[in-house]
Amino acid sequence: MAKLILLRHFKSQWNLENRFTGWTDVPVSLEGKEKVEEIADKIAGIKIDVAYTSPLIRNMESCLLLLRRGERYPIFKHFKSKMEKWGNFKELNGKYLPVFVNENLNERYYGELQGFDKAEVMAKYGEKLVHLWRRSFKKAPPKGESLADVVKRVKPLFKNIEKDLLQGKNVLVVASHNSLRALIKEIEKISDDDIINLEVPYAGLTQYEFERGVYKKINSY
């Protein structure tokens, strides 16, 4: 039975400063790195066969920190299609782990809000409207993406992930809040209205078992 592990990246410096980050490339904070050992221990008994992440440095860095903690050496492959060749690697042995990097797993693009303090934005626009921008399905921030937009770009990659699961591979996905919310919406068939209630904490870990096209949620931290 294959396993799917979803991990939200460790807390970035702008997360620490309560800023809208979106596509801005901000590294993991020192505080965020303190969670690595705890998360690694929670998946220590699972052999990861393949991983997916986005090119945002907080996602790639979180993936690297986690896998190196387990003495695995990730080989990052930026791709548009899994049909692309693996450079000069004909075969990867057990200590190396293929990590496919694709911008479809990027965080929601927050448009004009990126870089601004969240409290200041709420004071300007009102807490209710900002909450809709951040959590609802169809409402987008000024010149930014809605969650519906994120779901649309995540879906093609989700098909690749399911192909790996159907082959019995254990898959790790390290991504951002809204790209993970988009994946969880697809996996758990969450309605457009109910998705507003879904939150994934920093370093939040969600695990599923996958068999014959059916997902079973095991736990969520």
Active site amino acids? 9, 107
Check if the beta carbon of residue 196 is closer than 8 Å to that of residue 137: yes
Q: What are the respective helix, strand and coil percentages of the chain, to the nearest 5?
A: 40, 20, 40
Beta strands per DSSP E along 59-211 = 73-78, 96-101, 171-175, 205-211
A 10 A CB-CB count for 99 gives: 22
> Which residue, 88, 116, 95, is CA-closest to 24?
116
Report how far residue 129's alpha carbon sits from residue 107's, in angstroms, rounded to the nearest whole number. 20
